[in-house]
Structure 1
């Protein structure tokens, strides 16, 4: 093939070096943006003393509005028991006792980390319903909207164990885990955009996101569960429930799954064995809280 005077072979497209350089510049720009987003939105959580990621643009009012919308959608699809139902009244009383201890436990945990007590929970409009379902589950949304599924009762068995679960769910709302998950998702989206802009094919992007999930997102989600276990256990103990019931509860949870739970590294939750070990380590502190704050 004859070369032209400029040294390029005829029939060959000129090499586009500028495109590759531009992609690297775009990738670098996204990485800088992601780093700035991460470091500028970190804050210290007063309940745990840990540094967490919460987007500064996510306000408490926005969280509560999103929680209320989700709650209304759930109740429109899953009809709860009447408030006059005996089971609903039992759950309402447990919730009342736990919520009554939120101010004291919030102040106590924040003081342990040398921080002022947060007050975002003061704007919560608490509500709790019982939903007939085989699910062994419960939740508390941002803003204090709660529900307990009837499938949880055979696993919990006792009021004390039920209070541990409900305390755990309340803790998620107090710890602003919803806002933290939203912030993590935004960081993940920045990573996806960076991968697309750098010219990665879909398979490569999927591999990178999987690595980010196993290395960052899933461990972060498991830490949320561990944090909620601790704060929820302190709430239950302060409300005069027996924190020791948490051990049997998670043993029964493990049995109810039939040993089919995924390996911990690929799950958003600690496995029951790890959870029980953590709770056992927390039990002396929980008993101290019970002695200090239980006034029944």
Structure 2
């Protein structure tokens, strides 16, 4: 295959791979969504088999109640698992999977704060950030090979696959979302939680608490690549008028979550 043919093929891929995120941002996405979903499902199964799952009825009911209210706004069947892990972390994977660490459950004061975390993570999935990152960093041929590799997360290629999904730190490999992705997930997450009837103002309180917690000697995995605390809080404050209006509309429609910790 000559250079000209390769260039033409690459141009065709670029043209056909154009997509638009929920916030209206142009994206380059060429990995098939069903294949990325399959990778998310396999990665989640791996986590469930390797990490201790929390069986506390009250804690699981609290997390499930919040996740149900958030995901009701986007549709689909979502699996939610609370992992017995003291680190402040949560994640959502392609294929409609949500994981929350007990450390995060213990840290939040109320349903609204955890809703801001879960909404943020679901925002990553809705915006297809995993697919976009794979499309940016990997060629289609390598991407297809990663689908098989994710089933063996301890291999070098398998670790790369898992890290691209956003849970790489579980295996000691971190390939984080970009700050653009994190900010976009914040925007989507605040809108989601407000539409579900949660108080979006608590998202600011949550990030203030996370900022305070991150001042310790141990860095917080969840915050490792996110925008600075000050930038995030300023951005959220800009979103508050619209988010509060959405919450009021949700309450008027009878959406009043009562998830008890």
Please indicate the TM-score interval, normalised by the length of the shorter structure: 0.7 to 0.9
> 1:38 offset after TM fit, Å?
3.9
Residue 257 of structure 1 pairs with residue 214 of structure 2: yes
Residue 244 of structure 1 pairs with residue 204 of structure 2: no
Q: Deviations over 1:22-55 (max 9, x none)?
A: xxx97x997877666445422222x111101111
Name the structure, 1 or 2, with higher relative contact order (CA <8 Å, separation 6+).
2
* Structure 1, unpaired ranges of 5+: 1-24, 104-121, 191-217
Question: Is the contact made by 2:36 and 2:131 (CA closer than 8 Å) also made in structure 1?
Answer: yes
Alignment of 1:172-251 (within 5 A): 172-186=124-138, 221-251=178-208
Residue 66 of structure 1 pairs with residue 42 of structure 2: no
Structure with max Cα Rg: 1
Matched pairs, number? 216
Match of 2:61 in 1: 89
TM-score (norm 1): 0.65
Distance 1:254 1:36 in 2: 44
Give the secondary-structure state (helix, strand or coil) at the position aligned to 1:102.
Answer: coil
Distance 2:201 2:218 in 1: 23
Match of 1:42 in 2: 18
Q: Deviations over 1:145-196 (max 9, x none)?
A: 1110011134322211001101111111111111011011126x99xxxxxx
Match of 2:232 in 1: 275
Question: Is the contact made by 2:86 and 2:101 (CA closer than 8 Å) also made in structure 1?
Answer: yes
* Structure 2, unpaired ranges of 5+: 143-174, 257-261
Distance 1:29 1:60 in 2: 27
Distance 1:102 1:293 in 2: 14
